[in-house]
Chains A and B, each alone.
Chain A
Amino acid sequence: MAARPRVVAALAAHLRDLDVAEEAFAGAAASCLALAEPPRDVPAWLFVAGKRRALDALRKARAEARTAERHAEVAEMADILTLPEPIPDERLRLLFICCHPAIAPEARTALALKVICGLPVSAIARLFVVSEATMFQRITRAKLKVREAGIAFELPPRRDWPARLEAVLLALELAFTAAYADAGGELSADLGEDLGGEVERLALLVAELLPEEPEALGLAALVLLARSRAGARVDGQGAMVPLSQQDCALWDGVRIERARALMAQAARAGRSGPCQVMAAIQLTHARRAFDGVVDWSAVLRLYDVLQVLRPSPMVALSRALALAQVEGAEAGLAALAALPAERLALARPFHVARADLLARTGQAAEARAALDAALVLDPPRAERLWLEARRAGLV
């Protein structure tokens, strides 16, 4: 359902309960699919149907408690009868509610991904590298906190935004990571919506609302740059095309230009941060469209900075690949060998990077084994086709 984020957010803001909103949406979506003819305005239909389901359930519970409020019912019915009604856009409000500082830090982002982007718990668990059971518990606990702790269903006053911004940006960044890893659009197809487009819209909205926050601008630029390559990421056979081999004539120059402007605006604040550095790395790659080459030593320096700002095995992995471009594949392999292999055993990019560098140093058999290790980890279709083609090309 392409309308999900918008409808769920509107339902949550109206019903003031995340679980009730999600259930109401699921019920409404199921009835919508069962209709002989699709409604003219699907989001409006879903919003009204979802609201009605939730209110029916609420009324039933109230009737059982013998405290039915007749006047309220009449007012609510009148509300429902005025169809179609405009759906208020509550996505940003919901994003800020999910990122309330009273919610455990490790749960805020996950909650936002679940409720707003509708990512399945399994996908969120993968993003945080925890088990599905752990993630399910984390999200359940966070929802309980929102419901029971008295967290207001209001957009917080402006002075409270910066305290929540970090979690908001992280939620968007992770949602974007999930969308971007999905070159062939499988996750989006499962969700029935364009997750990348939704993240882009939200990131631009946050940047527009907080133009004095350079990291918000940096994230919007990062998302724009990645989205600028959407048309070049998959070939005619549906196989993924890695960044270095993409035809830059297929890149979207308007998005690149917009990202560049956002980054220039961010730079004026004079406060660097991980989103800005990641955007700078992507912009360096985008410059290939103008310069014909990638300035790998610049990329390497940026990864050095990123490793200080936000150290992680995945950043170290990307840095090793940049190092291989500057100092040679042997140096890259040495850097990879220094990474915690057991922590990265389930990370496909680790095996893909090793395969690349092993192939470049003439170790074809080891490269094939590394590609096999990546293929075992259940890549999306587009990536699998690309990996299989690479494997077949190794002799």
Chain B
Amino acid sequence: MQFMLMINEDESAYAGEGGAALLEATLAGHMKLAEDLVAAGVPFSGERLKPAATATTLRFDHGAESLHDGPFAETHEELGGFYIIDVASLDEALAWARRIPVPKGGIEVRPVWPMGAEG
């Protein structure tokens, strides 16, 4: 089954002193992870997102629409990227999620709703 691994991380970790080096190390970690996923034969996709400051949010309230500058939720940790992987179980998904380099933050693991399945 497919799982989405949502990387919520503290962007500020990459700013300031040592930030550039940390970013470089993190990106290298992502490259390595992608190689490992390929080597393990796990079908996957994924993207890195631009910082939360670049986000625009549309909000709806029963027909009324409004546009906001900024991400959907104001938190210390922002959605910075995601993977979608196809593995057999939650435990396998968690094992891959553990290998995503995240200096500070968390990864939400969620099953993707299978298309065509009812209920």
Interface residues of A (CB under 8 A from B): 65, 100, 102, 148-152, 154, 156, 160
Contact = CB atoms under 8 A, between A and B. Distances in A.
24 contacts: A65-B118, A100-B90, A102-B90, A102-B94, A148-B111, A149-B90, A149-B111, A150-B1, A150-B3, A150-B89, A150-B90, A150-B93, A150-B111, A151-B89, A151-B90, A151-B91, A152-B88, A152-B89, A152-B90, A152-B91, A152-B92, A154-B89, A156-B91, A160-B91
A150 B89 CA distance: 5
Interface residues of B, number: 11
Among A65, A100, A150, max chain B CB count under 10 A is at A150
Given A100-B90, A150-B89, A152-B89, 9 more contacts: A65-B118, A148-B111, A149-B90, A150-B3, A150-B90, A150-B93, A152-B91, A152-B92, A154-B89
Contacts of B3: 150
Contacts of A65: 118
B13 to A, nearest CB: 26
Among B3, B91, B92, B118, max chain A CB count under 10 A is at B91
Interface in B85-103: 88-94
* In the complex, the 5 A-B pairs of residues with the closest C-beta atoms, listed nearest first: A152-B89, A150-B90, A150-B111, A151-B90, A150-B1
B114 to A, nearest CB: 11
A58 to B, nearest CB: 13
A384 to B, nearest CB: 46
B43 to A, nearest CB: 15
Nearest to B3: A150
A195 B1 CA distance: 37
Contacts of B93: 150
Nearest to B118: A65
B42 to A, nearest CB: 14
Interface string B5-47: 0000000000000000000000000000000000000000000
Interface in B67-85: none
A154 B91 CA distance: 10
A151 B88 CA distance: 9
A154 B92 CA distance: 12
A394 to B, nearest CB: 58
Contacts of B88: 152
A109 B91 CA distance: 19
Nearest to A148: B111
Contacts of B92: 152
Contacts of A160: 91
Contacts of A148: 111
Contacts of B94: 102
A225 to B, nearest CB: 35
A148 B2 CA distance: 12
A160 B91 CA distance: 10
Contacts of A152: 88-92
Nearest to A152: B89
Contacts of A149: 90, 111
Contacts of B118: 65
